[in-house]
Structures are given as structure tokens and as C-alpha cells.
Chain A
Amino acid sequence: MTNIFSKLNYTKKKELYFERDMSPDKSKKLKKSIKENIDGVHSYLYDCDDIITRDFYMGQTPKHQMSLMFIDGMVDKDTLQNDILKPLMIFTRQFPLEYSVGENFFNMVKEGLLTAGDLKESDNFGEVILGILSGDTVLFLDKVEKALVISTRGWEKRGVQEPSTEAVIRGPRDGFTETYRTNVALVRRRLKDPNLKVKTIKLGRHTRTDVGIMFIQGVAKPSIVDEVLKRLNTVDTSSVLESGYIEQMIEGDWLSPFPQLRRTERPDVVAASLVEGNVAIICDNTPFALLAPATLLSLFQSPEDYYERWYIVSMIRILRFMAAFFAFTFPALYIAMTTFHPGMLPTDLALSIAAAREGVPFSAVLEALIMVSSLEVLREAGVRLPGPIGQTIGIVGGLVVGEAAVRAGIVSPIMVIVVAVNAISSFAIPNYSVAIGFRLLTFILIALASVAGLYGIMLGLLGLTIHLVTLKSFGAHFLSPFVSFRWSESKDTIIRGPIPSMEIRPGYTRPEDLDRINDRRHDTIDKAGDESADE
């Protein structure tokens, strides 16, 4: 019974969808008369005052009637003037047109007159209207059942700027913008490889957002590419305004606190990941690209990890992992130690903690919850406020209020230290989404520690381990390469080995072409050394 009902529901939903969907499909063919075509477009796009229709004729006599349709503000005026209107209206005046109205004339305009770079023919209303809405210009000719869709997309947009969420000290400064084509080009510029494939689909019934999948054929594992495409095709939603919509609709486990796709603003990160066999999803209208599959390690990496020398990076990575551990366990450990196992602390420390807590009216748990929550509020307030004020909030909140709270005897100074270490540690995680996940776990661990001390923390950590071990992102283990460990992959984990030693690509994507580096460095270096010695 339930089956039948669910089926009924489904079909009903589909019908509703088609009823509401007023945009034409490709089966609706264009007409011969220019008047009918323009009226046809207007029958769909009525009450859209930003549509501009420009009727004109070509040559010396009004025999060749044509019409341009575009949306004001979405087309590049220069292209429109210089590459479409000028050749059609000015150049053709200088000599009489031999062609009669019809198919031949259409081809002459298409192949011989228009100087615009990118155009294509269309014979149906679906493509024409989508073209107009995407910022293309449509040229109708009289007595022809076809139209030309000329790419004139050009609107006010932000230029390529330094990404603000993934700043680096060393590394390229360009970041993605809100324009799909620009973003794809930024990646393409780094990978001049014919095997770099870009597949574009449109998602969102209202937004018709361009979503592109990029991968390197022969490197990316076909099953991962298929899986990404399959999941993207299941997305049936009214709007895709940011890649976050896609991320949440195609990830495998939506109950997990961890993101299962990696998001980045940096084209160099996308290029590096593509070479490692990942698949990138680039979405129009957002500077954030998605990378699949994600692993916990990849979420802990910063692009700089590969640009700096390996000793430094290895140390930074170890520190980062320690920071991540403290980012979610430190308040819980403090509570467990002070309330359940004070004997574990050195006597001096235990005494000074006890002295500091003297006069504090709340239990350690309540104290921790107050401090951690207020810190989250401060952080949120700092994000919302404009730059300079945000910093002020940080200083006022962190220093002034903290100091005042200690003076007033509401919290102990040691708790301020604990929460501050906790907060600073969470900022050391490069990926903001992961850092949020860990912050969430802080609260769970505080609750467990307040119930059962260190045992509670162990329960929480083991539960987390089980979750992480069973979590998969597009078929790859989230914890790889630590599960089904291979020694050759250990060089790019918690430490980062020297680049020449990383001979194969990571195994979690199981790329077809495993070789990463063919180390011929030693030949040349040895020779150079010999020569200089001779001199």
C-alpha cells in the first residue's frame, strides 16, 4: 500500500512541476515570419520590461527585415554595437545586396557578415529564450525558420581578486569570481591538457544555473566521475544560488557534522586536486568550487603546504592536527580533569586551579558552557560586522568582557585561558566548514565529560572514530589513507614528505594513472655539481 501511495504522490508532484513550468521546451519550433517569432518570444516573456527588441533593416532598402532581442544590462554593449549592429547596418549600405530573402541570405549573414566571435543557430523557442535569459543576443531574420544566438554575455561583475577566505603568504593571488566562464578559464589556464574535460549542465528550475564538472580524463577514476554526474542529475530543485545547495544535495551522509565535499575559492587548489584525480564542480554565481571526493586530510590542507619546503610544512601540519584535537576536546578535558580526576593533575596545578575557582558561583560545566557559547556569539557578531568594527568586537569581547567577567568573579581566569586556546585552535583549521563541525563537537564532548569524565570523552571520541571510519565521500573512505593503509601514501598525510618522494597520486581517488613524479632531478643536479667542481 505504501508503495502505491508513494508512486501516486510522485506522479502528482511531477504534473505540478510541468504545470508550473511555463518556459518552452525545444519542441516548439520557430516560425517563418519575423513578426510571429517576436510575438512568440513575447508570449513567454511578457511583463518583462528589461527585454529590448530592436527592429532594423539591412542594406539600402527595407527589404531585409531583422530584429535583435536581448536583455538590457546582461549584454556587452561594445560587442552589440561593433560586431552585430555595425556590420549589419553600416557596412551593408555601401553596396547593394544580391541575395534575396531566405536561407542563403541567412547563411551569408551568419558566415560572412557578423563579426561576433561565438554564435550558433537555433530553430526552437526553448534555446532562443534560454539564450536571451542568459545574456545572449538573438537575431531573427524575416522569412527564415531559424535564429542566430550570438554570445554577447557581459554584465557588471567583480574582477579576479585575492580570495579572502583562503589567504596565503606564498602562492598565486587570483581567486574565483562569480562568473562561470571566468572560473573555468582560470583552471584551464593552469592545465593546458587536452584531457581536461568540462561538462556543463543546468540546474534549478528557476535559476537555470550553469554547473560544470571538470576532471582530467585518464587520471580521474571513471566511477567517481559517473557518481558525481549521476548525483548531480538527481538534483531537482527550484533554485541553485550557491554551490552550497549542490553540496548539500549530493553529499552521501547529511547527518554528518563534516562536509563531504571540499570547497575552495582558489583555482590553483582546483588544478592541484584535478591532477590528483579529483572531480571539480564549478557553479555559476559563486566563487566557491567543490571538489570530490573529500577526505579528512584534504580538508586539513592549505595550498601553501605544497609551495613551502617540506620540513616547515610538516611541522605546521602536525601543529594543525594538534590544534584540531584541542579545538574540540580542550574544554571537555578541563572539565573531566577538574571535576572527576583532579588526582591526575600535578598537585601545584590542581591547587592553583582550585584557588582560581575560589568564589566562582557556577560549576565548571556551566562556566564552560557560558564561555564557549558567548565566544561563539562574539565570533558570529564579528563575521557580520564590517571589517574594522569586527576587529573592535573581537577586542572588546575577548579582552574587555573576559577581563571584566574574571574581575566580577563570574568565571575563573583558567576557564578564560581554556576557552581562548579552544577558539584559537579552531582557527588553525584551514577549512571553515570543518572548523564549524569541530566547534559543534565541543558542545557534545562538554556534555559527555560532565556526565562521565574521561570515560565520557572516550565514548565521544570512539563514537566519532566510528563515524569517521564508516563515512565515505563518493566511494572514497573519508579517513583514507589511514584505512587500508599503504606505506607509499604516508608521505602526504600528517607530515608532508619532500615533493620528489611523492611518486604516486593518492590512492583514495584510485586514479588510473598513478605516476605523479618521474624523478629525473638527480641527473641534472649531479651534473651541475660536477661542472662547478671542475671550474
Chain B
Amino acid sequence: MLTNNDLITVPQTVVLIITTILEIGLLSLPRDVAIYANSDGWIVVIIGGVLTFVGSLVLSTLVRRFPNDTFIEYSQKVIGKVPAFFLGIVLIIYFTLASCIVIRTFAEVINAFMLQKTPREFIIITQMLLTVYLIRHGIEPTARIAEILFPILIIPIFAMYLIAIPKADFTELLPFLNTPVKAMAMGSLNTMFSFFGIEILLMLGPYMRSPERIYWTMFVSVAVSTMIYVFVVIVVFATIGVQNTKLLIWPGMTIIRTIMAPGKVFERLDALALALWTIASFTTANSFFLTGALTFTHLTRAREFKFFITILFPWIYLFASIPPNVLVTEKLVYMVKIGSITVGILIPLIILVLSIILKKRSGAA
């Protein structure tokens, strides 16, 4: 549908998925796992990562079976046009809401930590305009941006958390393995929500240069994200303590506020962290906005997807502005996270099972 040379390579896919995953989870994951598993939180993150990878196998297998189709096309082949159409609508709503909560959470964080007096709408609109400016260029430039921004994002984040380590007390990670299995399981499931973002693969299959390496791509993406998450959770736990973590809404950000840069160059690093946070949020919003517009394009069999960016723009702005405060936003975030499991794992699982039973697969597989 789009131009054929708009293809992304394996490393580009990996960084696109990682930068999509790394966003909201970085802020709130330590709190979520602390609530479920106390000091075993980091183990829960690892189990969650493994579960996510297992779940992503469904997506990967679908991409292998239908390398030339997006979700819209292969669901039509498997379950027929009308049900597939409704699934497509669900997908559009999901991606729209996902962009909304990413942008809204970003605006909330900026409002809380950096620009207290700036209107939230200003932040939402500017961030969205930036996103639109990028994704109008297509999929490959979006992936290229992810490629460029990934090191700029990851290296300072690591550096900042490393600065916190001298203050850390690693006995906070004890007792070890003292959590009931049920809590562990619940926590792991909850961690999977923090990996939301892998479902963009539903739409990216045909735009990959080498779809045969999808399993490897997914493995690297999920493994790297898990490692970063585990690192963050351990540092947060060790620095501010498990019990304190439970009380904070964005513990990942709070810890950075306590750090002082060595050499007294900066008194506090939070503004710097928020600058990085702008990048993280920007890359995530890009992916969801782009996939949303792509879904729309494939659903209507249009040739040009720029038009749908314009269509989605007011809706994303509207939904992002609706929640009255940060608590409602957090509820919406939770809903979207549950939606991510549904859209990213459950629905593809049904399609996959049906396609195996009905023996449908793409001709060029």
C-alpha cells in the first residue's frame, strides 16, 4: 500500500520496539512490582519479561505465517471480512488510546516536575505536532529516529542511575524469594503490562526487510527491555527502599530528583531527566500514532496514510485532554495496559489458532 522501499531493517525494528516499550514502565514499574512482590520485585520483572517473550511468540508466528500482510489483511483471510473489520476498529481505538495516554502521562509529568504553570494543553499540542512532523515522513524515518535517539536515551539514563548507586543499600533487596506464588504470578502478569508496545508488530510485519528473523528480533527487544527494567527496579529499591517505593506515583522520577551530579555541575538532575523523558515519550507516541494511522490506512485500503494522521490528530488531542486529573489518567493507563494484553496477545492467539485449524497461510511464506 505504501511505497515499497519504506522498509525497516532488523536493528531498526529492535530499537523501534525497545523505544516503544520503554516509557511509562520506567516511571511506574518499580511501584507496581513493589506492591505485588515487595523485595522480590526484580524477580517478578524477569518472569514478566519471559512471559512477554512467550506471548510475543504468537505475534512472531503470525508475522512468519503472513509475511506480506498486516493484521488487517490476515485477520480478513482467517475470520472473514466483517469480523475482521470490527477487529480493525478495535485496533484503531486501542492505538489511539495508547497514543493518548502516552502523551497525557508525559504532560502530567512535565507539569508536575518541570513546568508547573504551563497549560497542559500546550505541552500536549506541541508534543503531538512534533510527532506528526516526524511520522508524516513514513515508517523508515520513524525507525531511523528511534535508531538515533536510542543511545542518546539509554546511555544518560544508565549514567544517572549509576550515580545513585553509592547511596544505595542493597539489603533492601532482602528477603529473597519470600513471596507467595500467587502474588508472584499476579506481579508477573502486571509486569507484562509494562511491556506494552510489542503489539505495534501487528502492523509492521510487511514493512520488515527480513521477516524471517522476527523471533530473534523479538527476543533481543524483550531481553534488552527486561534488562533495563530490572536495573531500574533494583536501583530504585536499593536507593529509596521498597516501602517508600509503594507510596510514590512515579518512583523512577523521584529517585532522580534525589541525585546530585558529581562535581557540582548541576544541583539537581531532574530537569535533565525530564529532557530525556521527552525523548522516551516522543519515541513511544510516534510508534502508536504511526501504527494507528497505518491501521486506518490498511482498513480502508487507502494509498496515502498522511491523510489519516490528520484524521486521528483531533481525536488523540481530545482523549488526551479528557481525564480531569492524574488519578483518572492512571486508571486510563491501567485500562490501556489491559487492552495491550488483549490486542497484543489474546486476539492474535485466537487468529493464530484459527489459521492453523483452517490451514490458512500467506502464499509467499
What's the interface size class on B, roughly?
20 to 34
User: Other than the known A344-B268, A463-B130, A463-B133, what 18 A-B pairs have Cβ atoms closer than 8 Å?
Assistant: A340-B114, A343-B267, A345-B266, A345-B267, A346-B264, A347-B267, A453-B115, A454-B114, A455-B278, A457-B275, A458-B279, A462-B282, A465-B148, A465-B149, A466-B141, A469-B141, A484-B9, A485-B11
Q: How far is the CA of A482 from the CA of B11 in the complex (A)?
A: 13
**Residues of the A chain whose Cβ atoms lie less than 8 Å from the Cβ of B130:** 459, 462-463, 466
Is A341 interfacial (CB 8 A cutoff)?
yes
Say whether A466 contacts B134, CB under 8 Å.
yes
**Residues of the A chain whose Cβ atoms lie less than 8 Å from the Cβ of B115:** 340, 452-453, 455
Say whether B141 contacts A470, CB under 8 Å.
yes
Measured between C-beta atoms, what is the minimum distance from B340 to chain A in Å?
25
| 21 pairs from A and B in contact (CB 8 Å cutoff) | A340-B114, A343-B268, A343-B271, A344-B268, A346-B266, A346-B267, A452-B115, A453-B114, A454-B114, A455-B275, A462-B130, A463-B130, A465-B145, A465-B148, A466-B130, A466-B133, A469-B145, A470-B144, A483-B147, A484-B9, A485-B147
**Which of B126, B271, B279 lies in contact with A454, CB distance below 8 A?**
B271
* Chain A contacts with B in 454-498, Cβ cutoff 8 A: 454-455, 457-459, 462-463, 465-466, 469-470, 479, 482-485
- Considering only CB atoms, which chain A residue lies closest to B110 in the complex? A455
Say whether A454 contacts B275, CB under 8 Å.
yes
Measured between C-beta atoms, what is the minimum distance from B264 to chain A in Å?
5
Q: Which 9 A-B residue pairs are closest in the complex by CB-CB distance? A: A458-B278, A341-B271, A344-B271, A466-B134, A470-B137, A483-B144, A346-B267, A458-B275, A346-B264
Say whether B148 contacts A483, CB under 8 Å.
yes
**Residues of the B chain whose Cβ atoms lie less than 8 Å from the Cβ of A344:** 266-272
Q: How far is the CA of A344 from the CA of B257 in the complex (A)?
A: 10
Is B118 interfacial (CB 8 A cutoff)?
yes
Q: How far is the CA of A405 from the CA of B284 in the complex (A)?
A: 47
Say whether A341 contacts B141, CB under 8 Å.
no
* Chain B contacts with A in 2-35, Cβ cutoff 8 A: 9, 11
Measured between C-beta atoms, what is the minimum distance from B317 to chain A in Å?
17
- Mark each residue of chain A from 418 to 462: 1 if its CB lies under 8 Å from any CB of chain B, else 0: 000000000000000000000000000000000011110111001
Measured between C-beta atoms, what is the minimum distance from A398 to chain B in Å?
27
**Residues of the A chain whose Cβ atoms lie less than 8 Å from the Cβ of B50:** none
Q: How far is the CA of A463 from the CA of B274 in the complex (A)?
A: 17
- Mark each residue of chain B from 242 to 279: 1 if its CB lies under 8 Å from any CB of chain A, else 0: 00000000000000000000001111111110110011
**Residues of the A chain whose Cβ atoms lie less than 8 Å from the Cβ of B269:** 344
Say whether B133 contacts A455, CB under 8 Å.
no
Say whether B126 contacts A452, CB under 8 Å.
yes
Q: How far is the CA of A4 from the CA of B342 in the complex (A)?
A: 54
**Residues of the A chain whose Cβ atoms lie less than 8 Å from the Cβ of B264:** 346
Measured between C-beta atoms, what is the minimum distance from B160 to chain A in Å?
13
**Chain A residues touching B, majority SS:** helix
**Residues of the B chain whose Cβ atoms lie less than 8 Å from the Cβ of A482:** 148
Q: How far is the CA of A346 from the CA of B265 in the complex (A)?
A: 7
Say whether A459 contacts B268, CB under 8 Å.
no
Q: How far is the CA of A350 from the CA of B127 in the complex (A)?
A: 30
- Considering only CB atoms, which chain B residue lies closest to A343 in the complex? B268
- Considering only CB atoms, which chain A residue lies closest to B114 in the complex? A455
Q: How far is the CA of A454 from the CA of B133 in the complex (A)?
A: 20
Measured between C-beta atoms, what is the minimum distance from A325 to chain B in Å?
12
**Residues of the A chain whose Cβ atoms lie less than 8 Å from the Cβ of B274:** 454-455
Q: How far is the CA of A469 from the CA of B141 in the complex (A)?
A: 7
- Considering only CB atoms, which chain A residue lies closest to B270 in the complex? A344
- Considering only CB atoms, which chain B residue lies closest to A345 in the complex? B267
Is B157 interfacial (CB 8 A cutoff)?
no
**Residues of the A chain whose Cβ atoms lie less than 8 Å from the Cβ of B265:** 346
**Which of A341, A346, A459, A470 lies in contact with B114, CB distance below 8 A?**
A341
* Chain A contacts with B in 73-119, Cβ cutoff 8 A: none
Q: How far is the CA of A459 from the CA of B275 in the complex (A)?
A: 9
Is B123 interfacial (CB 8 A cutoff)?
yes
**Residues of the A chain whose Cβ atoms lie less than 8 Å from the Cβ of B123:** 452, 455
Say whether B266 contacts A452, CB under 8 Å.
no
**Residues of the A chain whose Cβ atoms lie less than 8 Å from the Cβ of B270:** 344
* Chain A contacts with B in 342-386, Cβ cutoff 8 A: 343-347, 350
With contacts A452-B115, A452-B122, A453-B114 known, is A462 near B278, CB below 8 A?
A: yes
**Residues of the A chain whose Cβ atoms lie less than 8 Å from the Cβ of B148:** 465, 469, 479, 482-483
Q: How far is the CA of A346 from the CA of B269 in the complex (A)?
A: 11
**Residues of the B chain whose Cβ atoms lie less than 8 Å from the Cβ of A465:** 145, 148-149
**Residues of the B chain whose Cβ atoms lie less than 8 Å from the Cβ of A343:** 267-268, 271
Q: How far is the CA of A470 from the CA of B139 in the complex (A)?
A: 11
A343, A346, A466 interface centre (most CB from chain B within 10 Å):
A466
- Considering only CB atoms, which chain B residue lies closest to A482 in the complex? B148
Measured between C-beta atoms, what is the minimum distance from B47 to chain A in Å?
33
* Chain A contacts with B in 293-352, Cβ cutoff 8 A: 340-341, 343-347, 350
Measured between C-beta atoms, what is the minimum distance from A449 to chain B in Å?
12
**Residues of the A chain whose Cβ atoms lie less than 8 Å from the Cβ of B127:** 459
**Residues of the A chain whose Cβ atoms lie less than 8 Å from the Cβ of B266:** 344-346
Q: How far is the CA of A483 from the CA of B134 in the complex (A)?
A: 15
Measured between C-beta atoms, what is the minimum distance from B298 to chain A in Å?
23
Q: How far is the CA of A482 from the CA of B15 in the complex (A)?
A: 14
**Residues of the B chain whose Cβ atoms lie less than 8 Å from the Cβ of A346:** 264-267
Q: How far is the CA of A517 from the CA of B302 in the complex (A)?
A: 50
Measured between C-beta atoms, what is the minimum distance from A64 to chain B in Å?
67
- Mark each residue of chain B from 264 to 305: 1 if its CB lies under 8 Å from any CB of chain A, else 0: 111111111011001100100000000000000000000000
- Mark each residue of chain A from 22 to 37: 1 if its CB lies under 8 Å from any CB of chain B, else 0: 0000000000000000
Measured between C-beta atoms, what is the minimum distance from B39 to chain A in Å?
33
Measured between C-beta atoms, what is the minimum distance from A452 to chain B in Å?
6
With contacts A452-B118, A453-B114 known, is A459 near B279, CB below 8 A?
A: no
- Mark each residue of chain B from 195 to 238: 1 if its CB lies under 8 Å from any CB of chain A, else 0: 00000000000000000000000000000000000000000000
- Considering only CB atoms, which chain B residue lies closest to A340 in the complex? B115
- Considering only CB atoms, which chain A residue lies closest to B282 in the complex? A462
**Residues of the A chain whose Cβ atoms lie less than 8 Å from the Cβ of B118:** 452, 455
**Residues of the A chain whose Cβ atoms lie less than 8 Å from the Cβ of B149:** 465
- Mark each residue of chain B from 136 to 152: 1 if its CB lies under 8 Å from any CB of chain A, else 0: 01000100110111000
